[in-house]
Structure 1
């Protein structure tokens, strides 16, 4: 910038005397050019950083097939861990309400990190639907909610003032190619209940890392809080969710792709365009959060 400023001064000194308006116009033009160049450099740096991460994943994949050995495999683990840490730092805050209140700029950063992790997994971790990694309890940290999202998803994500946490219990049987989802939305203390949404995994497509699912049951269960107080009831109350899954036929079916998974983090995408970021939940951690 100092060099450019000196060049401007030299040009003005050597040029014939011009009117202030002409000089001002020329100075504005040169300032605009410098600003555009600076913006281009910043954009190039951002693209270069993303490209470097993608190329790093590619190098690791080739190493896994015999070109680099354990050393490069460790490099992949390090790269993935760094991306995970950055992602979790963005999606962990409770005030984000599982993505509903996340600022647009942060959403863009989340999406970019997700895409980098997915690109690495696509090359390095081709088999992601395994009995060793998927089963267990997962906690939903972040989700996108497109206009085509299901009514249940819109309720769970949109009602952050009532829903404290969302968990997913997942079991699969690779031999039979089936399994089961049990999604549980914990209401905050004043509501005193849970929403259960269950689905059958009808088929597992290992090549696509895809779970074909059919929703078959949803209900509210209240054990305390405002509802029980109003009804003056002590026994748990179960209320069916007003979604007739059995009458919906194919509309009750969908699929869920596992685009990244390891011991602690899972990223999935659904057939309606939603993206989900979940972390593995330990029994003790869940008990402390729901009590």
Structure 2
């Protein structure tokens, strides 16, 4: 079937299929015929219009993953620098706030490095920003040539102005400012984004920017949500590890987790992968349904208890002192020193040998927020807990 005769759903499928072999989000891997078919499918979708008044819809909000971008000579430096690198993942967030709309462009460098986030305030027809003046000039050549073409219809365009940007590196407890003084560049910090197609399902969109660039994006469900779903579905360890890497790379963890008050509380163990040389009892009880940890204290020395409810009348409990390892650069380790282990049978306490060691073990915090944590023990075991 000729591409121009496709239905919107078929055109969407054609675009997604055609992008499977593309490298660098359109930088290479697409020949002249494929590009012609791709452009025709894009035209089908943009002519169909998709969801009406997209900037009014809540379906536009959320995190989007960039699959493809065209590369006109007018593209911006940041696009030319980062977008074509497959080792990086590129996202765009469109968020609704009390004051209006926020647009965040994010380049993720991977779970062990961090990310760059460039943020902007947005202005739409339905949510005007008081005192906002849209971009007027074509711009300096060094920043790419901008178009002044008006929007084709109401509620299609987001005018925006960049106001902050920073590198968020995992190994640093602070953010590194992106070396662009936005306040000094005036009109050059402004632009616009037209939503030329938003799928009624809210999972796919096309956008065109003021530099003449076409963007193809799919909705990116947060790694945390996908991880929680995978845990509930008892997905494979390989899938869990993959999602953990994405979650860590998201940069959404609490900073300096070992000294955060969020550590304290009761945490239910949802999943673990035990190292080969982990304690035998720990291996046997690791994925029991009634396995949880109680942490008392936060920034200073405290105590934690690992408790396994084997049966209503039978518990296994280990008690340990804990303290943030302040020698760790990112304050991401907690020292743990077991002081007691016992079985509780019908309320009777039966001591267990636990091999007391003068050198404490530790827990490394890979991710922490108010209701989810991912940690790794000093022997290499992984643990995922949710707040009880």
TM-score range, shorter chain: 0.5 to 0.7
The correspondence for 2:203, drawn from 257, 260, 264, is: 264
Residue number in structure 1 paired with 2:189: 252
- Residue segments in structure 1 that go unaligned for 5+ positions in a row: 1-44, 54-78, 225-234
- Does the Cα contact within 8 Å between 1:208 and 1:257 map onto a contact in 2? no
8 A contact 1:96–1:102 mirrored in 2: yes
Picking from 117, 127, 131, the partner of 2:57 is 131
Residue in structure 1 matching 2:31, options 104, 115, 118: 104
Higher strand content, 1 or 2: 2
Alpha-carbon separation, structure 2, partners of 1:128 and 1:155: 29
CA distance in structure 1 between the aligned counterparts of 2:26 and 2:115, rounded to whole angstroms: 20
Q: CA deviation at 1:160?
A: 3.2
Superposition RMSD in Å: 2.5
CA offset digits 1:41-83 (Å, max 9, x no partner): xxxx95xx52x44xxxxxxxxxxxxxxxxxxxxxxxxx22211
Q: Post-superposition shift, 1:204? A: 3.3
Q: Name stretches of at least 5 consecutive residues in structure 2 with no aligned partner.
A: 127-152, 228-242, 249-388
Q: Aligned pair in 2 of structure 1 residues 185, 179: CA closer, same or farther (>3 Å)?
A: same
CA distance in 2, matches of 1:134, 1:203: 12
Query: What secondary structure is seen at the aligned counterpart in 2 of 1:267?
Result: strand
- Aligned residue runs from structure 1 range 95-244, under 5 A: 96-105=23-32, 106-121=34-49, 125-161=51-87, 163=88, 165-172=89-96, 178-188=100-110, 192-204=113-125, 207=154, 209-224=156-171, 235-244=172-181
Task: Measure the CA separation in 1 of the matches of 2:36 and 2:157.
Answer: 25
SS at match of 1:204: coil
SS at match of 1:273: coil
**Alpha-carbon distance change, 99 to 276 in structure 1, aligned in 2, over 3 angstroms:** same
Taking structure 1 as reference, are residues 220 and 286 closer, same or farther at Cα in structure 2, changes over 3 Å only?
A: farther
Contact kept, 8 Å, 1:196 with 1:219, in 2: the verdict is yes
For these two proteins, the number of residue pairs brought into alignment is: 201
| Mapped partners of 2:14, 2:154: distance in 1 | 29
Normalising to structure 2: TM-score of the pair?
0.47
In structure 2, the CA distance between the partners of 1:222 and 1:125, relative to structure 1 (3 Å rule), is closer
